[in-house]
């Protein structure tokens, strides 16, 4: 039975809800006479110009309030963001990263969501294996778009194998139904050597391209393998050679699709180019960076911003000694940017590439570096006046690393002030120099 919680935790100041006398602790019972079961139905039903709300007040009385919604948002937030419980994943994917986590971490880290509502609201990627025909029709009726789909393979039998779910082969049929009803999708393929690469990747790209423009973009990311894989499906990591082969295959497809559709549509994550030790493509190749959150074009985007930002740096004394912490994969790129900035200023920059001992395996990206590894590897190293870390290392705004250490914990251990930096060339320079750039 669904556990729906419509208790209100926050009212936006000066909002329609505040003007109507709705208060924190009240419960929203119905909208325009209709029950609602999650945040999508709430948004759908309140999108009308005139909205009638049935409210259960904190004192137990019921009020019916009619408001005019001029802003497409009446200003209510609920105790449960989705109102309903988040749907957990029913798959047992052969490549699942959560299955490769060590024991003893915070319980929330191990929760596998596979909720289409989170796909729409937060950009999460979902497998569509949780969806009934009724749920599919409901999303179409509410015009929920875009939806981010974790595809892996369009071959039904292969997808069932990769997800260890006998219903997983329906994905492409569901996507075709979404496309036929003008729902847009962004797609992801977690590529596993000798599983869904080669000819299977050709098939997946071809069939996803057939749904363009409703398939708006497709990212391809390499499988991430930690040292905690005992008893799991035997997978191989990408090597320099297999990364280069994948790049060649995808770039061939990009040219073909660009000539036919006017878009490359398929994009590789930066890890492939770093693993292959090949240059990152030019900014134009990423066509506006539709999958930046998947690590697709992060380096190209930051390099472009850095090139513009460094022109604004003043020729003056900065007297700064800055330590930059990054993962092994991006270390040479960050070092290159730092050297260019030091050539133009007197700021001193030291770059430390942190080896990922916590996860081990082939994990070398900045976003999976832990606080413990930073402490262990830098406790005896010279550190500047301030330490900058990529914001992607932190799980949330509270400043928590994946190993549950906080930024404050690392600051105390290393006796240095730490500031997170987003993937932005302007902020990168501003945090190093300690001042805002003037345009």
Helix-helix angle 133-141:171-180, to 10 degrees: 30
Q: What percent of the chain has pLDDT over 70?
A: 92
d(CA 30, CA 28): 6
User: For 145-194, how does the pLDDT look when each residue is reduced to its tens digit (9 = 90+)?
Assistant: 888 899 999 999 999 999 999 999 999 999 999 999 999 999 999 999 99
Residue 44, pLDDT above cutoff 50 = yes
d(CA 30, CA 182): 29
User: For 248-281, how does the pLDDT look when each residue is reduced to its tens digit (9 = 90+)?
Assistant: 999 999 999 999 999 999 999 999 999 999 999 9
Please answer whether residues 246 and 238 qualify as being in contact, where contact means their C-beta atoms are separated by less than 8 angstroms: yes
d(CA 29, CA 62): 9
d(CA 259, CA 261): 6
Pull the structure tokens for residue 318: 């900065």
pLDDT for 275 equals: 94
Residue at token pair 């999108």: 47
**What architecture is the 303-433 domain classified under in CATH?**
3-Layer(aba) Sandwich (3.40)
Write down the pTM of the prediction. Answer: 0.83
User: For 327-355, how does the pLDDT look when each residue is reduced to its tens digit (9 = 90+)?
Assistant: 999 999 999 999 999 999 999 999 999 99
Pull the structure tokens for residue 375: 């402490």
Q: Classify 409 as helix, strand or coil.
A: helix
d(CA 297, CA 303): 10
- DSSP at 342: H
Is the model more confident about 62 or about 212?
212
The b-or-e profile of 108-144 (16+ CB within 10 A means b, else e) is eeeebbbbbbbbbeeebbbbbbbbeeeebebbbeeeb
Report whether CATH 2.30.42.10 matches the domain 8-78: yes
- DSSP at 239: -
* DSSP characters over 365-388: -GGG--HHHHHHHHTTS---SEEE
Please answer whether residues 349 and 322 qualify as being in contact, where contact means their C-beta atoms are separated by less than 8 angstroms: yes
Q: What are phi and psi of 126, to 5 degrees?
A: -125, 155
Q: For residue 79, what pLDDT band results from cuts at 50, 70 and 90?
A: confident
Contacts of 177 (CB under 8 A, 6+ apart): 136, 140
Q: For residue 1, what pLDDT band results from cuts at 50, 70 and 90?
A: very low
Peptide bond preceding 146 in cis form (omega within 30 of 0): yes
Is the model more confident about 226 or about 1?
226
Q: How far is CA 437 from CA 201, 308, 337, in A?
A: 44, 11, 17
Residue 36, pLDDT above cutoff 50 = yes
The b-or-e profile of 295-314 (16+ CB within 10 A means b, else e) is bbbbbbbbbbbbeebbeebe
Please answer whether residues 356 and 363 qualify as being in contact, where contact means their C-beta atoms are separated by less than 8 angstroms: yes
Residue 106, pLDDT above cutoff 70 = no
Residue 89, pLDDT above cutoff 70 = yes
- DSSP at 280: P
Which residue from 64, 59, 120, 111 is spatially nearest to 89, judged by alpha carbons?
A: 111
d(CA 63, CA 98): 45
Class of domain 98-295: alpha beta
Task: Return the percent helix, strand and coil in the chain, to nearest 5.
Answer: 35, 20, 45
pLDDT for 85 equals: 62
∠ CA(197), CA(201), CA(203), 5° rounding?
145
d(CA 354, CA 351): 10
Q: Please state the domain extents for the chain.
A: 8-78, 98-295, 303-433
Peptide bond preceding 213 in cis form (omega within 30 of 0): yes
């Amino acid at each position: 039975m669904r556990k729906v919680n419509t208790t209100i935790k926050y009212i936006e100041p000066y909002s329609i809800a505040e003007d109507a006398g709705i208060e924190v602790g009240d419960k929203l019972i119905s909208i325009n006479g209709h029950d609602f079961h999650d945040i999508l139905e709430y948004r759908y039903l309140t999108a009308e110009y005139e909205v009638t709300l049935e409210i259960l007040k904190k004192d137990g009385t019921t009020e019916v309030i009619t408001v005019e919604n001029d802003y497409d948002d009446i200003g209510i937030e609920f105790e449960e963001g989705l109102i309903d419980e988040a749907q957990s994943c029913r798959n047992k994917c052969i490549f699942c990263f959560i299955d490769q986590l060590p024991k003893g971490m915070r319980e929330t880290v191990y929760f596998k969501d596979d909720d289409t509502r989170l796909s729409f609201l937060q950009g999460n990627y979902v497998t569509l294996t949780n969806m009934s025909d009724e749920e599919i029709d409901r999303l179409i009726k509410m015009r929920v778009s875009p939806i981010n789909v974790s595809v892996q393979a369009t071959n039904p039998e292969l997808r069932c194998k990769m997800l260890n779910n006998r219903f997983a082969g329906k994905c492409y049929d569901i996507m075709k139904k979404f496309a036929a009803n003008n729902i847009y999708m962004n797609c992801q393929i977690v590529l596993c050597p000798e599983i869904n690469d080669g000819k299977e990747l050709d098939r997946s790209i071809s069939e996803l391209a057939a749904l363009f423009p409703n398939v708006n973009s497709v990212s391809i990311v390499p499988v991430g393998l930690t040292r905690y894989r005992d008893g799991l499906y035997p997978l191989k990591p990408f090597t320099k050679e297999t990364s280069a082969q994948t790049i060649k295959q995808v770039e061939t497809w990009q040219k073909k699709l660009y000539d036919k559709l006017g878009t490359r549509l398929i994009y590789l994550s930066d890890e492939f180019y770093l693993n292959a030790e090949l240059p990152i493509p030019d900014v134009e190749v990423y066509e506006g960076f539709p999958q930046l959150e998947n690590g697709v074009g992060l380096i190209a985007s930051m390099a472009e911003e850095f090139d513009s930002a460094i022109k604004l740096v003043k020729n003056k004394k900065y007297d700064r000694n800055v330590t930059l912490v990054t993962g092994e994969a991006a270390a040479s790129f960050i070092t290159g940017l730092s050297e260019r900035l030091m050539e133009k200023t007197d700021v001193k920059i030291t770059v430390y590439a942190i080896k990922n001992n916590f996860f081990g395996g082939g994990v070398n990206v900045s976003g999976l570096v832990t606080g413990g590894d930073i402490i262990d590897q830098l406790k005896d190293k010279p550190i500047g006046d301030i330490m900058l870390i990529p914001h992607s290392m932190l799980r949330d705004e509270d400043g928590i690393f994946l190993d549950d250490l906080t930024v404050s914990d690392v600051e105390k251990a290393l006796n240095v002030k730490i500031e997170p930096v987003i993937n932005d060339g302007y902020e990168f320079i501003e945090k190093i120099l300690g001042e805002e750039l003037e345009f």
